[in-house]
Structure 1
Amino acid sequence: MAKADVTVVLAHGAWADGSSWARVITALETEAIKVQAAPLPLTSLADDVAALSRSLDRTEGPVVLAGHAYAGAVIALARRARVKALVYIAALAPDEGEKVADVFYRLAPHPKAPKLAPDDNGLIWLPEDAFATAFAQNASAEDHAVLAAVQRPISLNCITVPAGRPLWKDVPSWYLIAEQDRMIVPETQRFMAERMKATIRTQAVDHTPSVTAPAAVADVIREAVRSVSGN
């Protein structure tokens, strides 16, 4: 069991909120691992980093940050103090000077990937049917309904600004590659993970394994926690 002094802070991606981590949270807390889910506004990359910092301010001791999808860019810009490891769950990892959109659109999309466009407010919503066809195709109909109902749109300001120096250049990182991902091409995930020199774990899971394969996600996070705690 991991030491209780390590806190795991989870960051949700686009079209999701903290509830997307529910099954991972319960899996980790059965082992007495402290967990928080950071609420991100998805209004700009800077706003999301600031929101994550506020969540970090509520913790004490060493921290393991885990990000899903877009939130990979957010956790990489967190303050260095006390962050001892990063965990990427099918997540985007732009390098310094790159935009989130640069890595998201690096390769041709999956045939079932949704066509995305901003509305009049500059916000991108995921079409409701995309939760079943691309976002979490392995989830139940009940999960699809919840994911669609609680989705948060992402602003163009999150994906069109260059990122700063990423924290993965300075702290150990883990990366769960989702082989069945229809939102972020698995080959792009591997490219980013190898560029980061991350510890790579590969699973036959969809884009949102926190919902559809929480045990696999918890295993990777647990590995990072044990590395930090020495257990």
Structure 2
Amino acid sequence: MALGNVSVVLVHGAWADGSSWSKVINRLNEQGIRAVAAPLPLTSLSDDVAALDRTLERIDGPVVVAGHAYAGAVIGATRAANVEALVYVAALAPDEGETVADVFHRGEAHAQAPQLAPDRHGRIWLPHDAFASAFAQDATPEEWAVLAAVQRPIAAACIGEAVGRPLWRDRPSWFLIAERDRLIAPATQHFTAQRMHAQVRSYQADHTPMVTAPDAVTEIIVEADRSISSR
């Protein structure tokens, strides 16, 4: 039975596409919740916000938007009027005047985090072996292979653009902290969630819990959806 008329929009981060949310989409659909994955070009923060806004324009009624990793900056920058709540999944959430890079480099890098640098086109790719060592160390070999095959590079421009007033200052937010994240330091996630005054759920999960801990991700999204539906 559907929880109400609240839809969910799921936003992928760097080195991923909408398929990274497939397990969560199935679980939300089983609970009668409409879920849509928003594709991002990952060419600049402004481009990505515009892409998210195009997806949101297609949806009637209130929306809960969930963003993973880099997409935390994207969902915080939308001004779409139908967004009623935000869910951050192992995410980066810069405050006004900050960049994604400012927040990402706030914490000490994990020993197994890969060295990253843009190619001659200004795109940053995740090394193939980093999907198993840092991106989703709890996934299966089959999942590592798919994640590596579909990865989308992120432009260096995405992480250097300062944000305006983030939407999390004006909307209720939830934050799933991945305590075994090897790309975004858990301490950074705790700091960010605290200053957002988010509803926090902490799990022993890697950087990509949509793939490796989909029940936990679904649970926090449903919690946000239920909160909006009950108004």
Same-fold status (TM-score > 0.5): yes
Alignment of 1:1-231 (within 5 A): 2-230=2-230
Contact between 1:177 and 1:201, CA under 8 Å: does it hold in 2?
Answer: yes
Q: CA–CA distance in 2 between the matches of 1:104 and 1:123?
A: 17
Distance, in Å, in 1 between the alignment partners of 2:188 and 2:84 is: 25
Tell me the secondary structure at the aligned position of residue 174 of structure 1: strand
CA distance in 2, matches of 1:165, 1:115: 31
Aligned length: 231
Cα offsets for 1:33-72 (capped at 9, x unmatched): 0100000000000000000000001100000000000000
Amino acid at match of 1:59: I
- Code of the residue aligned with 2:11 in structure 1: it is A
1:165-196 CA distance string (max 9 Å, x none)? 10000000000000000000000000000010
Worse overlay, 74-83 or 52-61: 74-83
Q: Report the aligned-residue RMSD.
A: 0.9
CA shift, 1:4, in A, is: 3.5
Q: Distance in 1 between matches of 2:61 and 2:96?
A: 28
Q: CA deviation at 1:2?
A: 4.9
Deviation at 1:3, TM superposition (A): 2.8
Determine if contact 1:4/1:34 at 8 Å carries over to the other structure.
no
Q: AA paired with 2:179?
A: E
Residue identity over aligned pairs, in percent, reads 65
TM-score (norm 2): 0.98
Aligned partners of 1:172 and 1:4: how far apart in 2? 18
Contact 2:42 2:155 in 1 (8 A): yes
Give distance in 2, aligned partners of 1:14 and 1:194. 24
Q: How many angstroms does 1:102 deviate by?
A: 0.4
Amino acid at match of 1:10: L
Per the alignment, in what secondary structure is the counterpart of residue 77 of structure 2?
coil
Residue identity matched to 2:90? A
- Deviation at 1:223? 0.2
Structure 2 counterpart SS, 1:88: strand
* Per-residue deviation, 1:79: 1.6
SS at match of 1:112: coil
Letter in 1 for 2:166: P
Equivalent residues of 2:56, 2:80 under 8 A apart: no
Which contiguous aligned blocks of 4+ residues in structure 1 show a shift greater than 3 angstroms?
none
Is the partner of 1:192 in helix, strand or coil?
Answer: helix
Contact 1:80 1:167 in 2 (8 A): no
Gaps of 5+ in 2: none
Q: Do the aligned partners of 1:23 and 1:214 also contact (CA within 8 Å) in 2?
A: yes
